[in-house]
Structure formats: structure tokens, C-alpha cells
Structure 1
């Protein structure tokens, strides 16, 4: 089983994927294709996706019974003790460039606690 989710990809790519997969919702494709076809479809998605994003989930033998691939997505695939998980970017890491006490609320709090 293959599930492919596309976001902001060209219509030509969606048309190409409908040759092999069924589009059950806009940008969501499902189907059962051999591994060779799945890999060829993923190569085509990466090639044609441009500014869009894509996630491919497919069945494999193993403990989780599925694997996934991502292309230009905020979340990243991490291996955690043999399990593949999706890690969301840490919001604290993005805001770490701000120095402590930068907001007016922080300044008021500082004055109040003196």
C-alpha cells in the first residue's frame, strides 16, 4: 500500500500520478504498486515538485510495517531505537535568537518583581 500526500505541487504532477494511484482527496494519492514503480514515482515527484512538499508512506516488512520519505517538509524523519519517527522543529530553537526580556510584557514583569 502506498499513500502520497502533495502540497502546492503542479497539476501536471498530479495528472502523472493518477496513472498509477487513485486521488481520494486533492493532493492525497493511494494505491498498491510494486517497489520499482513506487521508487520511480518518488523520483518523478522530487523532480517535478518545485516549491511544493511531498510525503510518501508505504508498507514494508518490519516492526512498524511502514516507511516514509519526505521532500521539502518542515518535519524530519529520525530513527529512534529502530523506529522511524517524524520530528517537528523545536519552536524554542527558532526563537532562541531573541534575547531574554525582549517584549514589553517581560519588561513590566521585571519592574514588578523588583
Structure 2
């Protein structure tokens, strides 16, 4: 089984994913393919993701029961820690400038200054 989650993906990529996978929620695609097809689909995602980001998770015979990979701009960075894949967060200061200062998200939620 595999799961792909995309954020800010262009419509052409979402359409391509819908050909191979079932979109169960906006940007969440699931399916059951082998390694070769999974790698082909993931290659398409990475080639067409543009300014968005994506994560792929699939079943694997390891301690966690799955593997995952990411592509695109995101604060979450996968790191290998003694054979176990974990996720590291980049600090907000390291975010690209087009996302704006750290106070902007507070205003969108309605908890910042007005």
C-alpha cells in the first residue's frame, strides 16, 4: 500500500495522480502498487510538484512498518538516525521569504494584532 499527500500541487499533477490512485481527501491519494510503479509515480510527482510539496509513504518490512520520502519545499526534513527514518523540523526563520514573517499565521487565525 502507498499513500501520497500533496500540498499546493498544480492541477496537472493532481490529474496525473488521479489516473493511478484514489483521491480520498483533497490532496491525499492511496493505492496498492509494487516498487516499479511506485517509483514511476513518485518520479512524476517530483517532476511536476513545482512550488508545492509532497510526501510518499509505503508499506515496508522494517521496524516501523513503512518507509517515506518527501519532495518540494517543506519545514519537515527526513533524516536517518541509526537506520530509523525520523522527521526534523526546520526553524521558522529558515522558511522561504515568500511565506512572510512568523506573525502572519497568527493574523490568519484571528489571534494576532488587528
- Structure 1-normalised TM-score? 0.76
CA distance in 2, matches of 1:74, 1:37: 28
State the alpha-carbon separation in 1 of the partners of residues 16 and 91 from structure 2: 35
Task: Extract structure 1 runs of 4+ deviating beyond 6 A.
Answer: none
Whether the 8 Å contact between 1:20 and 1:33 is mirrored in structure 2 is no
State how 1:48-87 maps to structure 2 within 5 Å.
Answer: 48-72=48-72, 73-87=74-88
Q: What 5-or-longer segments of structure 2 have no aligned partner?
A: 95-114
- Where does structure 1 lack aligned partners over 5 or more consecutive residues? 96-114
Query: Residues 28-69 of structure 1: CA distance to partner in whole angstroms, max 9, x if unpaired?
Result: 001111111110011000111111100001111111111111
Q: Which SS does the other structure have where 1:12 is aligned? A: helix
**Normalized against structure 2, the TM-score is what?**
0.76
Q: Distance in 1 between matches of 2:59 and 2:87?
A: 16
SS in 2 for 1:19: helix
